[in-house]
A = this chain, B = another copy of it.
Amino acid sequence: MPEEQADGRRRVVIESLSPQIDCGKYPIKRVVGEKVVVEANVFADGHDQVACQLLHGRVNDTTMQSCPMLPIGNDRWRAEFPVLNVGRYEYTVEGWIDRFRTWRSDLIKRIDAGQDVHVDFLIGARIIEDTASRATAEDADFCSRYARRLREKKDTESKRNAALDTELLNVVDRYPERHLVTRYDKPLGVVVDREKARFSTWYEVFPRSCSPEPGRHGTLRDCEARLPYIASMGFDVVYLPPIHPIGQTFRKGKNNSVAAQPGDVGSPWAIGSEEGGHTAIHPKLGTLKDFKKFIASANENGLEVALDIAFQCTPDHPYVKEHREWFRARPDGTIQYAENPPKLYQDIFPLDFESSEWHALWIELRDVVLFWMKQGVRIFRVDNPHTKPFSFWEWFIREIKQQDPDVLFLAEAFTRPQVMYRLAKIGFSQSYSYFSWRNTKEELTDYFNELTQTEVREYFRPNLWPNTPDILPEFLQVGGRPAFMIRLILAATLGASYGIYGPAFELCENAPFQPGSEEYLNSEKYEIKHRDPDSSGSLKDFIARINRIRKHNPALQSDRHLRFHGTDNPSLICYSKATNDLSNIIVVIVNLDTARPQTGWINLDLNSLGLGADHTFQVHDLLGDGRYLWKGARKYVELFPESLPAHILHVRPWVRRETDFDYYL
């Protein structure tokens, strides 16, 4: 007996619904104002016509909205919906046999073939009467009138006109037969973030290095004074390494030496001392009041503050005394310190997520973030999330976003690809990427095609960093000032979100701790630095120019429409970005060689830019300021590492011609 069949007469099937991550286990990501384009294979047995609709709505809304899907060939259907608010949305697809449209199109064929259709009119009348039973009073009345015409009119011509009336079609379309509707297995999710999740420009700065007086420990107030400078370069997120008290036990000295000298300030990531833990502020940086003032001042400068979340403790952290159960005990009674054997990090006690008291630990960590949210923080950069369980982060981010869906998390997980992608799937809003080590044309093309042209783009938003306090890439070490310009252009135009660690970046600091190392010499992680941001060699004006270009060109504010174009020189890379509607198009050509001018031919995929082969268009170099009239796909370019390492071309498809004169024709 077919017990397990709810109703064996349900004939429509729905397959391959996209977008969909891991069988619907994880939501896709969007920002406010974007669309979700949904496709599915919807079909039935036989030759009856099927109809289908997209259902969508915010999670917890009582009803979902619907919109009809349209066929795009090979039994695939498409529809889209906009997401207008932050929060969670759901979508799914329903399909059914469209009896009326099947009948109607068959009728046309029968009449065209000159067949006797008097019984068919009766069949149609019955379908219309069925529709009436589902309709509003007004529409039911309308349907009944048409059904009567099909039943009672004497002449075939009148019946035919009634049957094929498009007004009737429109009314009947409004009342799909709910009976025997197939709905896709389960609703799929969308997390909708505010726009900054997609488009953001980050600047990392150590407050303790912001003192104008050499030798004095900088404060939040000193850092506050630096905000106009940061804002002037066009950044919109200022990210601070941890601002908490720093442990004394096993404190690291300069250049990560094991024995700190008196006066060594320690690493900000070694969190916790007698002065407090993750909700305290390092006394030398200032007070909570100073921090709130810092936030307010940042906001006035058009900057948001991103705080570092590093869930780990020094031996001096209050948790160690108060919650010994959150740390792993060794058989000798000591607490397990961090290791990556044979490396030992005795200054750090990792939290033990396998503790039997994991519930309480999770709650406490969530409360840390809620505390900083209460102070006005809405962006968190999470240190090493890949060393804590995925299930913790999944719960944690959902909890926080239920409190405030505006909160964003950047995952600093420099680890294996599957792990990075998993963290993005389970909720991180943005992710550090492998950009820091992708230098050649092939490396960049392959990696950014993977990020933007595959399913990855539905959940992983890369944030591109040419440098960080942990990473001084070899390209910057060996390429001098042009290397910094090239990597900045690439980060700022390949990525809708990017960031730099300054002022080390704009001052082109490039001395490694030792050859083959990516650590900075005299790293700011272990000592206070004093620099002059106004020094003559600074890239600050160049950075400001690039960020202005980003701000004025929506094409650069999304990664979705990135396309690579051919070049005949491996040192030249060419790519474009465009808005959905092609109203803003940017073509970028970069010389990847820091040492020599490079020339070559580029071969534009005109089609992807909405241009025809015989279309004359203007390109305006937003970097070098040249303007050129172009036509066709192939162009010759010449780029100079020191002066003009790249073109950032704004494409203007419309060129004034004789036809633009009022009096033409």
Query: Residue A154 at the B interface, CB < 8 A?
Result: no
Q: Which residues of the partner chain B approach A13 to less than 8 Å between Cβ atoms?
A: 390, 422
User: How many residues belonging to A are interface residues under a CB distance threshold of 8 Å?
Assistant: 65
Question: In the bound complex, what is the Cα–Cα distance between A75 and B344 (angstroms)?
Answer: 25
A45 touching B11, Cβ below 8 Å: no
B342 touching A46, Cβ below 8 Å: no
Question: In the bound complex, what is the Cα–Cα distance between A8 and B107 (angstroms)?
Answer: 61
The interface bits of chain A over 1-35 (1 if a CB of B lies within 8 angstroms of the residue's CB, else 0) are 11011001111010110000011110000000000
Q: Do A422 and B15 contact each other (CB < 8 Å), given the known contacts A110-B341, A388-B45?
A: yes
Question: In the bound complex, what is the Cα–Cα distance between A143 and B546 (angstroms)?
Answer: 65
Greatest chain B CB density within 10 A among A11, A74, A126, A416 is at: A11
Protomer copies: 2
Binds B, one of A112-120, A131-139, A194-202, A626-634: A112-120
Q: Do A11 and B391 contact each other (CB < 8 Å), given the known contacts A2-B362, A119-B330, A331-B123?
A: yes
Q: Which residues of the partner chain B approach A652 to less than 8 Å between Cβ atoms?
A: none
- Shortest CB distance A351–B (Å): 12
Greatest chain B CB density within 10 A among A8, A47, A122, A390 is at: A8
Q: Which residues of the partner chain B approach A372 to less than 8 Å between Cβ atoms?
A: none
Question: In the bound complex, what is the Cα–Cα distance between A387 and B74 (angstroms)?
Answer: 18
**CB closest residue in chain B, given A9:** B354
Q: Do A359 and B2 contact each other (CB < 8 Å), given the known contacts A15-B418, A418-B41?
A: yes
Which A residues from 153 to 201 make CB contacts under 8 A with B? 180, 185
Query: Residue A513 at the B interface, CB < 8 A?
Result: no
**CB closest residue in chain B, given A350:** B46
B353 touching A113, Cβ below 8 Å: no
Cross-chain contact of A353 among B9, B43, B334, B422 (Cβ < 8 A): B9
Q: Which residues of the partner chain B approach A185 to less than 8 Å between Cβ atoms?
A: 23, 25
Q: Which residues of the partner chain B approach A419 to less than 8 Å between Cβ atoms?
A: 43, 45, 75
Cross-chain contact of A359 among B8, B41, B113, B122 (Cβ < 8 A): B8
- Shortest CB distance A359–B (Å): 6
Q: Do A115 and B342 contact each other (CB < 8 Å), given the known contacts A74-B417, A391-B8, A418-B43?
A: yes
B122 touching A332, Cβ below 8 Å: yes
The interface bits of chain A over 61-84 (1 if a CB of B lies within 8 angstroms of the residue's CB, else 0) are 000000000000011000000000
Question: In the bound complex, what is the Cα–Cα distance between A11 and B122 (angstroms)?
Answer: 64
A386 touching B340, Cβ below 8 Å: no
B112 touching A389, Cβ below 8 Å: no
**CB closest residue in chain B, given A102:** B341
Query: Residue A109 at the B interface, CB < 8 A?
Result: yes
Q: Do A395 and B123 contact each other (CB < 8 Å), given the known contacts A387-B46, A390-B13?
A: no
Query: Residue A358 at the B interface, CB < 8 A?
Result: yes
Q: Which residues of the partner chain B approach A113 to less than 8 Å between Cβ atoms?
A: 341-342
Which A residues from 408 to 459 make CB contacts under 8 A with B? 416-419, 422
Q: Which residues of the partner chain B approach A595 to less than 8 Å between Cβ atoms?
A: none
Question: In the bound complex, what is the Cα–Cα distance between A75 and B115 (angstroms)?
Answer: 65
Query: Residue A568 at the B interface, CB < 8 A?
Result: no
Question: In the bound complex, what is the Cα–Cα distance between A330 and B118 (angstroms)?
Answer: 11
Query: Residue A106 at the B interface, CB < 8 A?
Result: yes
- Shortest CB distance A111–B (Å): 9
**CB closest residue in chain B, given A23:** B23
A392 touching B8, Cβ below 8 Å: yes
B353 touching A11, Cβ below 8 Å: yes
- Shortest CB distance A346–B (Å): 12
B390 touching A11, Cβ below 8 Å: yes
Chosen A-B contacts, 21 in total, with CB atoms closer than 8 Å, are: A1-B359, A1-B363, A5-B391, A5-B395, A8-B391, A8-B395, A9-B353, A10-B391, A13-B390, A25-B185, A43-B418, A47-B340, A75-B416, A75-B417, A109-B341, A110-B342, A113-B341, A113-B342, A119-B330, A122-B330, A123-B330
With A8-B353, A13-B422, A75-B419 given, name 5 new contacts (CB 8 A).
Answer: A8-B392, A45-B388, A74-B416, A110-B341, A119-B332
